[in-house]
């Protein structure tokens, strides 16, 4: 693995990249070698939640399933927050049961996510994907035990430079999510911001990968 793409919706099947491809229970593609699987808050459907959770639990018991998610909370959608919390907590319970990391989608609900982690005493790694917020929130999340993953907003928002620079080297990942830019482009900018070589960055992320996914 030269590059690790922590979160992507596009499987490119390149030998130099380990891609953690986002999958949904109702659209599962068995041909994808490594993936995360979860119920995204946007796609919660009450009449199929139990079936989705059953599929997720089945997949979590396989080696190819590296994580659960993306799952989480989003205050900018119409699905009631209490319903989102219920589905999120059920997925966190599965993450604990099968000792899998969690890929988190969070919009305007960071304090709730922090509180749920604490309440449920979650011990597995929890990673906020697509982080785009300020230094204060980043520091708060890291102090609460979260990892941060950067990608789209790192490329598009120069204000995120100092947030990324201040993120400890053992607490971040890089991703492409849904953007057209490659993971190599994200690595290029990240290495520039951290003032290290691509090789040093690759070693850092490989170390973080081992700490999160191989324990």
Give residue 130's region: left, alpha or beta (phi > 0; psi -120 to 50). left
Q: Is 9 annotated as a binding residue?
A: no
Identify whether the C-beta of residue 68 lies closer than 8 Å to the C-beta of residue 57. Answer: no
Q: Cα-flanking dihedrals φ and ψ of residue 63, to 5°? A: -70, -30
CB atoms within 10 A of CB 48: 15
Q: Is 177 annotated as a binding residue?
A: yes
- CA nearest 89: which of 118, 128, 131? 118
Q: Is the bond leading into 170 cis (omega within 30 degrees of zero)?
A: no
Q: Is 188 annotated as a binding residue?
A: no
Q: Is 136 annotated as a binding residue?
A: no
Which segments are annotated as binding site?
70, 105, 129, 177
Which segments are annotated as binding site for a divalent metal cation?
70, 105, 129, 177
């Amino acid at each position: 693995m030269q590059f690790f793409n922590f979160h992507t919706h596009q499987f490119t099947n390149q030998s130099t990249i380990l891609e953690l491809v986002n999958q949904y229970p109702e659209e599962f593609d068995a041909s994808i070698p490594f993936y995360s699987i979860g119920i995204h808050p946007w796609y919660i459907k009450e009449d199929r939640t139990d079936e989705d959770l059953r599929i997720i639990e089945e997949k979590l018991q396989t080696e190819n399933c590296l994580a659960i998610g993306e799952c989480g909370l989003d205050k900018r959608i119409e699905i009631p927050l209490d319903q989102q919390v219920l589905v999120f907590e059920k997925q966190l319970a599965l993450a604990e049961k099968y000792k899998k990391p969690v890929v988190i989608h969070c919009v305007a609900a960071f304090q709730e996510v922090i509180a749920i982690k604490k309440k449920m005493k979650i011990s597995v790694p929890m990673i906020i994907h697509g982080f785009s917020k300020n230094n204060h929130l980043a520091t708060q999340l890291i102090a609460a035990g979260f990892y941060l993953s950067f990608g789209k907003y790192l490329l598009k928002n120069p204000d995120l430079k100092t947030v990324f620079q201040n993120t400890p080297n053992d607490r971040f990942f890089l991703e492409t999510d849904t953007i057209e830019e490659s993971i190599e482009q994200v690595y290029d900018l990240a290495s520039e911001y951290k003032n290290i070589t691509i090789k040093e960055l690759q070693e850092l992320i490989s170390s973080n990968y081992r700490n999160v996914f191989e324990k």
